[in-house]
Amino acid sequence: NCIFIDESAFDINMKSLTARSITGTPAIVITPSARAVSHTILGTISVIGVVDMKIRIPLTPKRIKVVGARKRK
């Protein structure tokens, strides 16, 4: 018996960067500037088929409040 475990990360905002334009003019592509959180997919397969599959969403980083800190102007 043999089981394979694999992990892959996917970016939600993935878009094709190819574009078409009129001959002699540059192709301009507008992409979203905001980056989404990458999701990780964990999968386990065996000879019989898919054993288990999970989506792991990373936690958002916590902000630490520093006593006496001020914002820059």
The answer as to whether 23 is a domain residue is no
The answer as to whether 68 is a domain residue is no
The answer as to whether 73 is a domain residue is no
pLDDT, tens digit (0-9, with 9 covering 90-100), for 17-63: 667 788 888 887 776 655 666 677 778 888 888 888 888 777 776 67
The answer as to whether 71 is a domain residue is no
Rounded to the nearest angstrom, the gap between the alpha carbon of residue 31 and the centroid of all alpha carbons in its chain is 15
The answer as to whether 70 is a domain residue is no
The answer as to whether 3 is a domain residue is yes
Closest Cα partner for 55 from 41, 43, 45, 44? Answer: 41
Closest Cα partner for 39 from 65, 13, 3? Answer: 13
Give me the domain span that covers residue 7. Answer: 1-12+28-58
User: What's the pTM?
Assistant: 0.40
Closest Cα partner for 43 from 14, 5, 17? Answer: 5
Confidence of residue 9 (pLDDT cuts 50, 70, 90): low
How many domains does the chain contain in total?
A: 1
The answer as to whether 38 is a domain residue is yes
Alpha helices in 1-73 (DSSP H): none
The answer as to whether 7 is a domain residue is yes
The burial class, CB within 10 Å (0-12 / 13-18 / 19+), for 39 is middle
